[in-house]
Amino acid sequence: AGQMKRVNTRQIVLDILLQYEKEGTKLRPLLNAALDKYVYLDSRDRAFIKSLTEGVAERRITLDYIADRVSKTPTERMKPVIRMIIRMGIYQLVFMEHVPDSAAVNEAVKLTRLKHIEGLGGVVNGVLRAVTRLRDEGITYPDPETEYSCPGWIADRLRLDHGTLKAEAVIRSGVGSMPMYLRVNRLLAGRDEVAAELLGEGVRAVPADDAPDILKVEEGSLAPGLSESFRKGRYSVQDLSSYTAVYEMWKQISVNINSEKPVDINIIDMCAAPGGKSCALAELMEDKAHIRAYDISEDKLSRIRENTERTGLHSVEAAVGDATVHMDSLSGSADGVIADLPCSGLGVMGRKVDIKYRVRPEDINALCELQRSILDNAADYVRPGGILLFSVCTVTREETFGNSEYIASKGLHKVAERLFLQGVDPCDGFYYSLWTK
């Protein structure tokens, strides 16, 4: 086939972003599909495509603000393709230090030719040169939400729910990287052993203070799929907040339920995929309890089984079940119920670049209704004396404390609760409460 034609990496990014904007789909699958298609690209090109695609998607609000400072035509009146070429150029000029200005500008102009709108090359050139000057003078922003690309309604809601100081810490943590935590499988390895294995893989991970099985990745980049110890089930990826919730649940179970015979302990995990909480609890309970991990589709169950097989756990059984549909056979049957519910996901805005743009204000009420229909069932499945764990990876008052008030109204007794805020706490935004019946 001779020499393969040099691919234009920026054109690949432009096409992904235009499809993403037009279809309103999730970004990750589009990005993965493109990287699979251009399988022969070297790791530098792949990394460039990934960081430019995710960066432009994540910082859209900031990029449009910068463009609007210098452009005669406001971004919202531009044709989508021109607006996207300009966003990509600005992202490279302002947020990618290793891209020379000349490359950012010239390649943007070249994209107008490739998209047969070369008549607008001059406009793109002018806007990007003006941005370069603006950047060198220092870009000032009217507020943190513009600087860190947080939709206005989310910023307002954060201030209302958590006060200005904490809200702005959350907003600032919304771009850039979040810390990564690993849960060591205590049935297979000690924390120090796994840390040593990771060091051999070029990753420095240190024990987390309050969590016995958790390592925090401090240096190096970890691709779990390529990690020998990960494949052998010696550790899993789980955020500190999520692990803490399960660990506290386990402590409650150990205190409240006869620990002489862990074999008889019945746990139900209602929305379990990919199985992180079920597996964490199984490891804490020495793989002796009986944990039924429900989720809504075979596709989700396969993700649970992937994890139980990798970690070698036998006590977790994946089963199809819709958490909103009451199963009479489960009434009063469980020593413990995990209700980690679908939510607005605002605690992980820094991890999933498109979540803040996908969720709408009116979704919150709909989600609360969904959550409460699941909590009705969860509360019913817990036997008297049993433990309920309720959790969400979001930070809106309605979906966190509001739902806890709802659980209290059903006559359960709260034994613990905690809200983690990203940017304030060293982990994802997350909320959990623990209840006895």
CB atoms within 10 A of CB 92: 25
- DSSP letters along 414-431, please? EEEEEEE-BTTBSS--EE
**What's the pLDDT at 4?**
55
How much is the pLDDT for 2?
43
DSSP designation for 117: -
Angle between helices 9-23 and 80-95 (to 10 degrees): 120
CB atoms within 10 A of CB 311: 24
CB-facing half-sphere around the CA of 140: CA atoms within 13 A = 2
Residue recorded with tokens 């709408």: 360
DSSP designation for 413: E
Please tell me the distance from the alpha carbon of residue 297 to that of residue 294, in angstroms, as a whole number.
Answer: 9
Q: For helices 27-37 and 9-23, what crossing angle results, to 10°? A: 150
CB atoms near residue 139 (< 10 Å): 14
List domains and CATH numbers for the chain: 9-140 (1.10.940.10), 176-237 (3.30.70.1170), 239-436 (3.40.50.150)
Q: What is the pLDDT of residue 119?
A: 86
**CA-to-CA dists, residue 299 to 29, 270, 327, angstroms:** 15, 16, 21
* CA 284/CA 306 separation, integer angstroms: 19
Contact indicator for 182, 203 with CB cutoff of 8 Å: no
Length of the chain: 437
Helix (H) or strand (E) segment spanning residue 194: helix 191-200
Task: Round to whole Å and give the CA distance between 289 and 285.
Answer: 6
Which are the contacts of 428, defined by CB distance < 8 A and separation ≥ 6?
Answer: 178, 239, 240, 241, 242, 347, 348, 350, 351, 393, 420, 422
Which of 385, 362, 390, 361 minimizes the C-alpha distance to 375?
Answer: 390
Cα of first residue to Cα of last residue in the chain, in angstroms, is 70
Q: pLDDT tens digits for the chain (437 residues)? A: 444 557 899 999 999 999 999 998 899 999 999 999 998 899 899 999 999 999 999 999 999 999 999 999 999 999 999 999 999 999 999 999 999 999 999 999 999 999 998 888 999 999 999 999 999 999 999 999 999 999 999 999 999 999 999 999 999 999 878 899 999 999 999 999 999 999 998 999 999 988 899 999 998 877 777 788 999 999 999 999 999 999 999 999 988 776 666 668 999 999 999 999 999 999 999 999 999 999 999 999 999 999 999 999 999 999 999 999 999 999 999 999 999 999 999 999 988 888 999 999 999 999 999 999 999 999 999 999 999 999 999 999 999 999 999 999 999 999 999 999 999 999 999 999 999 99
Closest CA to 392 of 338, 343, 336: 343
3-state DSSP assignment of residue 144 = helix
Q: What pLDDT does residue 263 have?
A: 66
CB atoms within 10 A of CB 66: 26
Cβ proximity of 36 and 107 under 8 Å: no
Burial class of 24 by CB neighbour count within 10 A (0 to 12, 13 to 18, 19+) = exposed
Report pLDDT for 262.
60
